[in-house]
């Protein structure tokens, strides 16, 4: 029952988001037909192209048309951008960029955060601790796109170590594709890693103060065993929840990084579709993005009761 309710709420939110974006886009000035005809447009042609695109219908009719299509699994066709291609295909082709990018970024940020956070927590107030804190504060304060610009210039262009942007298809060149994602993922990982470092540190500090740690120490276990086997394991439960939230933030942050590195991901697809007033494509892209975020939220929500028994009763 709890799951059904959650699922229902999720679908309702999706519907709300789609209706909101549809309305907003409908009232955006700028007309796809005008974009198609460019600077040479004459009124007669405009009407013809608008009719061809179905833009002459009232808003509710257009929305219903879109929604009934979605229920049948048809997200429509792009109006301007690669006209003739289905929205579903365009969106699906963007996912293998955005999802691995976000996944790699969260992976790198954990790789950064867990050792640093654990180290800092092992000697609270020590020199190492304050260094880690300063580092994480700094990492948190650097704009990702600035880091991207500098990384492209100095690491990709001047040193030539990694591709400067763009990305080949996974199918055509899997190695090249992975390499293209490396620098953007690192750039994206830094601020997230900075936040996660603090979370790991706090969680570790709390775990290290618990009774069972004292018991473990009392048993004469080495400090390394105490930290890695006992404290870290417990701290990771909290960290994994927060990491999920960070993943959502990451998906949104990916947009700017995709722009800086010109990666053909979901964020960039949506942004260019908005600029081109390509309604079906924007709808499809936002829908996919919102569904992705909500699915993650759903997963997170369902892990909360497992971690914190106090909420279980209320839910």
Partner 1 sequence: MQKLFGLFLAVILLAGCSPQAAGSELVVAIPTDPDGFHPHQSVAAASAEIAFNLFEGLVKAAPDGSIIPALAEEWEISPDGLTYTFTLRQGVKFHNGRNLTPEDVVYCLTRLADPDLSPKARDYTGVQRIAAQGNQVVITLAQPDAVFLALLTEFGASIYPKEVEGELSTKPIGTGPFTLSAWEPGDSLTLAKFPQYWNPQLPKTDKIILKIIPEPTTMVNSLLTGHVDLIPRLEPDYLHQVEGKSTLQIIDSPMNLVQLLAINNAVAPFDDLRVRQALNYAVNREEIIQGAAWGKGTPIGSNLTPAMGAWYKDLTAQYPYNPEKAKELLAQAGYPDGFSTTMYLPAPYPLHRNAGEIIAAQLEKVGIKVRIKVIEWADWLEQVNRDRDYELTVVGLTGRIDPHTMLNRYQSQSGRNISYFASPEYDELLVRGLAETDHEARIEMYQRLQTILAEHAANVFIMDPSQIAVMGRDIQGWSNYPVYVLDLAPLSRTE
Partner 2 sequence: MRGRLKGCFLLGLMVLLTVSGFFFTPYPPNEMDIPGRLEAPSSRHWLGTDNYGRDIFSRIIIGGRPALAAGAFAVCIGLTLGTLWGAAAGYYRGWLEEVLMRMADGLYSLPSVLMALLAVTLLGPGQASILVAVSLANIPIFARLTRSLFLSLREREFILAARAMGSTNRRIIFRHILPNCLSTLLVQASTSFAAAILAEASLSYLGLGTQPPAASWGRMLKEAQSFAGLAPWAAIFPGLAIALTVLGFNRLGDNLGDRLGVKKE
Bridge-partner residues for 86, per DSSP? 77
Which residues have a Cβ under 8 Å from the Cβ of 118 and sit 6 or more positions away? 200, 201, 204, 227, 228, 231, 232, 235
Single residue of 76, 117, 139, 163 touching partner 1 by CB under 8 A? 163
Q: State yes or no: residue 272 binds partner 1 (CB under 8 A).
A: yes
Q: Is 154 exposed, middle or buried (0-12, 13-18, 19+ CB in 10 A)?
A: exposed
Q: Kindly list the distances between the CA atom of residue 21 and the CA atoms of 18, 72, 280, 287, in Å, as whole numbers in the listed order.
A: 5, 20, 11, 9
Single residue of 8, 30, 126, 143 touching partner 1 by CB under 8 A? 30
Cα–Cα distance, 89 to 96 (Å, whole number): 12
Closest listed residue to residue 200, CA positions, set 161, 168, 240: 240
Q: State yes or no: residue 275 binds partner 1 (CB under 8 A).
A: yes
Q: How far is the CB of 125 from partner 2 (least distance, A)?
A: 12
Single residue of 56, 74, 173, 308 touching partner 1 by CB under 8 A? 173
Single residue of 174, 299, 302, 311 touching partner 1 by CB under 8 A? 174
Instruction: Mark 103-142 with x for binding to partner 2 (rule: CB under 8 A) and - for no binding.
Output: ---------------------------x--xx--xx-xxx
Single residue of 25, 36, 188, 196 touching partner 1 by CB under 8 A? 36
Single residue of 62, 225, 241, 262 touching partner 1 by CB under 8 A? 262
Q: Is 278 left (phi over 0), alpha (psi -120 to 50) or beta?
A: beta
Please report which residue ranges of 152-278 form alpha helices under DSSP H.
Answer: 174-208, 211-218, 223-225, 232-260, 266-275
Instruction: Mark 143-172 with x for binding to partner 2 (rule: CB under 8 A) and - for no binding.
Output: xxxx--xx-xx---xx--------------
Point out which span in 83-91, 180-188, 212-220, 248-256 binds partner 2 (CB under 8 A).
248-256
Q: Using the 8-state DSSP alphabet, how is residue 77 labeled?
A: B
Buried b (16+ CB within 10 A) or exposed e, 28-47: eeebbbebbeeeeeeeeebe
Cα–Cα distance, 216 to 223 (Å, whole number): 9
Cα–Cα distance, 32 to 80 (Å, whole number): 7
Structure tokens at 169: 């298809």
Q: State yes or no: residue 95 binds partner 2 (CB under 8 A).
A: no
Single residue of 1, 4, 27, 43 touching partner 1 by CB under 8 A? 43
Pair 241, 300: CB distance under 8 Å: yes
**What's the half-sphere exposure (Cβ side, CA atoms, 13 Å) at 27?**
5
Question: Among residues 237 and 311, whose Cβ is nearest to partner 1?
Answer: 237
Site residues (CB under 8 A) for partner 2? Answer: 9, 12-13, 16-17, 20-21, 24, 27-29, 130, 133-134, 137-138, 140-146, 149-150, 152-153, 157-158, 198-199, 202, 242, 252, 255-256, 259, 267, 270-271, 274, 286, 289-290, 293-294, 297
Site residues (CB under 8 A) for partner 1? Answer: 28-32, 34-46, 48-49, 52, 78, 80-85, 89-90, 93-94, 104, 107, 111, 152, 156-157, 160, 163-166, 169, 173-176, 178-179, 182, 259, 261-262, 264, 269, 272, 275-277
């Amino acid at each position: 029952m709890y799951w059904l309710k959650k699922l229902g709420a999720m679908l309702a939110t999706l519907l709300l988001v789609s209706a909101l974006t549809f309305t907003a886009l409908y009232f955006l000035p700028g007309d796809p037909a005008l974009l198609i005809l460019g600077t040479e447009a004459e009124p007669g042609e405009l009407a013809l192209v608008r009719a061809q695109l179905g833009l002459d219908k009232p808003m509710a009719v257009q929305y219903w048309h879109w929604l009934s299509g979605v229920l049948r699994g048809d997200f429509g066709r792009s109006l301007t951008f690669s006209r003739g291609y289905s929205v579903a295909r365009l969106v699906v082709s963007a996912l293998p960029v955005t999802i691995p990018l976000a996944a790699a970024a969260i992976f790198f940020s954990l790789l950064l955060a867990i050792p640093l956070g654990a180290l800092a927590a092992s000697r609270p107030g020590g020199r190492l601790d304050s260094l880690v804190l300063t580092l994480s504060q700094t990492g948190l304060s650097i704009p990702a796109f600035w880091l991207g610009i500098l990384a492209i210039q100095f690491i990709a262009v001047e040193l030539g170590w990694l591709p400067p942007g763009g990305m080949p298809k996974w199918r055509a060149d899997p190695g090249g594709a992975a390499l293209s994602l490396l620098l953007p993922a690192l750039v994206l990982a830094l601020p997230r890693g900075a936040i996660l470092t603090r979370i790991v540190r706090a969680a570790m500090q709390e775990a290290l103060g618990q009774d069972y740690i004292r018991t473990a120490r009392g048993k004469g276990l080495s400090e390394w065993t105490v930290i890695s086997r006992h404290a870290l394991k417990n701290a990771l439960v909290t960290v994994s929840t927060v990491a999920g939230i960070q993943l959502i933030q990451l998906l949104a942050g990916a947009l700017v990084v995709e722009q800086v590195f010109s990666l053909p991901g979901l964020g960039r697809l949506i942004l260019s579709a908005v600029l081109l007033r390509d309604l079906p494509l924007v709808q499809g892209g936002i829908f996919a993005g919102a569904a992705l975020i909500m699915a993650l939220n759903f997963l997170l929500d369902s892990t909360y009761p497992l971690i914190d028994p106090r909420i279980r009763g209320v839910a």
